[in-house]
Amino acid sequence: MRAFLIGAATIALLAACDDGPAEATSQAPQTTRPEIAPAPNARSLPQALKDGDAQPVQVVGTYLRRIELLDDSGPKIQAVIAVNPEAVSQAQALQQAAAKGEEPGLLYGLPILVKDNIETTEMPTTAGSMALKSNMTRRDAPAIARLREADAIILGKTNLSEWANFRSSQSVSGWSAVGGLSRNPHDLTRNTCGSSSGSGAAVAAGLAWGALGTETNGSVICPSASNGIVGFKPTVGLVSRYRVVPISPSQDTIGPMATSVRDAAMILTALAGSDDNDRATEEADARRTDYVAALEGASLEGLRLGVLRWAQSDDPREQAVFEEALRRAEDAGAILVDIDAFPGEVNGGDAFTVLKAEFKASLNEYLADAAPEVETRTLTDLIAFNEANKREMALFGQDILIDSDAMPGLDDQGYLDAVAAIQKGTREDGIDRMLAEHGVDLLVAPSFGPAFKIDLVRGDVIANSAGAGWTAAIAGYPHLTIPMGNVKGLPLGFSIMGTKWDDADVLAAGHAMEQVLPPRLVPTFRNGIESDPVVNEAIKTSL
């Protein structure tokens, strides 16, 4: 039991910081849970900590209590794999340093959960796989070291789609053998999306102030949109990926997940920078900026937004939410330009070839340097381990792992041609061409459809294909999702994309857009839409 008890005074203090009904909507009233300390108001928490109106130990205690009562029991969303055993002592150390007059860092006292494919000194890094359950490297990834330098508290590790959802074509997003199945806090019968499933669900449920996810192709954006929070995928190369369990060096990146664009910008400001161990970050120090300061004065007035009509939903209810968001943007001064077709050519087979080839090479390199206790040292070893483990194979197989293991090396001409083709198709012939030919500053689209039902038989069954995040993912360009409304209590996200190193501009546009969109939907932990009284009555016989 991951218990941490706090006193009544602490609960009273943090209750005053609760997000409360300002973020709720009439379509999904909150469920009252008086036994659970309310989550601190994420938007005011940083200032409250710096002003001394809240203390790190108190804040950590509240979040740990919520993890115990919402994640381990209660609705049991299973978003958190492990709690940092040193979180409280680290919070105490920060308090003591502040009491001595030390200047607090940008993220002073803010508890952040970390996707369990990013190394931290206090906890194993498993990628959700039993094969890495003993992967206690006792190392911090550079991204984690940067968070600590900014005085953040690493609260724990979040569940993920195992191996960042690169194991099976019939996978169940949000499931890992180590962490089990994460559930969407807006509807426990719905998927969290992946692969940063636990990070998305945890932030939405108020289990931490913010979280880190990773994305190769949609793994920050989809869980953020599906759980109704803000998620940002930076330009590849802005944040170090060293000591992160990899899929694709050409597409992988760490990204912040939070309840507001400002909070995501704070995390990114701490994360961004060059790292000698990650060649992709060579330009990061020259490109990085204070992403929080860049939000000041952000406005939609005169901003030209390319509306990706070819990526919108074919569901009229979802489309109505997107159109309302566009209307609000236009009312705030944005200039909307329709883009009816994607101009580039991207072969899905080439895109998959690149991922499989890079996964084999980079995973073998990572496993060779895993903790001494890890016996699985190659992708071939991993496949054999899974075949011998009933828990690993209980829901789906590992065809992607097997196909990847058969791939040639990264000097193969077929791989080199494929990576060149897909990057040209999404960069100069794709995003850059749309921006230039239509004279727009940024591109917008729906992020994804509403969270789909959990299906343990067929795997992920996605009802529609709204969104264009694959373009930014393959190109390695920045992509932001922010909540824009909901359909029957299921959140929908609004996407903003730009070209390489446009991170600050994308975040600024998102911050301005956030001001005109409806408040974020607060989870109710309902057990299926049937729990809605109106729906429940409608499905009964009227005879």
**Residues annotated as part of the active site:** 115, 195, 219
Residue 74: how many CA atoms within 13 Å on its side-chain side? 23
Q: Which long-range contacts (CB under 8 A, 24 or more apart) does 411-418 make?
A: 412/357, 414/353, 415/353, 415/354, 415/357, 417/350, 418/347, 418/350, 418/351, 418/353, 418/354, 418/357
Beta strand residue intervals within 192-333, DSSP E: 210-215, 230-233, 253-258, 304-308
Which 3-state string (H, E, C) describes 413-473? HHHHHHHHHHHHHHHHHHHHHHHHHCCCCEEEEECCCCCCECCCCCCCCCCCCCCCHHHHH
Is the distance from CB of 222 to CB of 193 less than 8 angstroms? yes
**Which residues, in sequence order, are bridge partners of residue 244?**
118
DSSP E strands, 125-227: 153-158, 175-176, 180-181, 210-215
In contact, 156 and 124? CB cutoff 8 Å = no
What kind and span of H or E run contains 199? helix 197-204
Give 192's Cβ-side CA count (13 Å radius): 36
What Cα–Cα distance (Å) separates residue 204 from each residue in 197, 198, 223? Answer: 11, 10, 10
Burial 296-315 (b: 16+ CB within 10 A, else e): eebebeebebbbbeebbbeb
With 0-12 / 13-18 / 19 or more C-beta atoms within 10 angstroms meaning exposed / middle / buried, residue 21 is exposed
For residue 350, give the 3-state DSSP assignment: helix
Whether residue 450 contacts residue 226, with contact meaning beta carbons closer than 8 Å, is answered with yes
Going from the C-alpha of 58 to that of each of 4, 79, 86, the distances in angstroms are: 11, 22, 15
CA distances from 445 to 173, 298, 405, 498 (A): 23, 20, 36, 12
Q: Name the nearest CA neighbour of 40 among 186, 203, 225.
A: 203
CA distance 433 to 222: 25
CA distance 8 to 35: 11
Calpha distance 419→413 (Å, rounded) = 10
Per the DSSP assignment, residues forming a β-bridge with 213 are 255
CA 137, 141, 145, 150 dihedral sign is negative
How far apart are alpha carbons 215 and 241 in whole angstroms?
11
| Cβ neighbourhood burial of 419 (10 Å; 0-12, 13-18, 19+) | buried
**Tokens coding 283:** 């330009």
CA distances to 356, 431, 502 from 477, rounded to whole Å, are 21, 9, 8
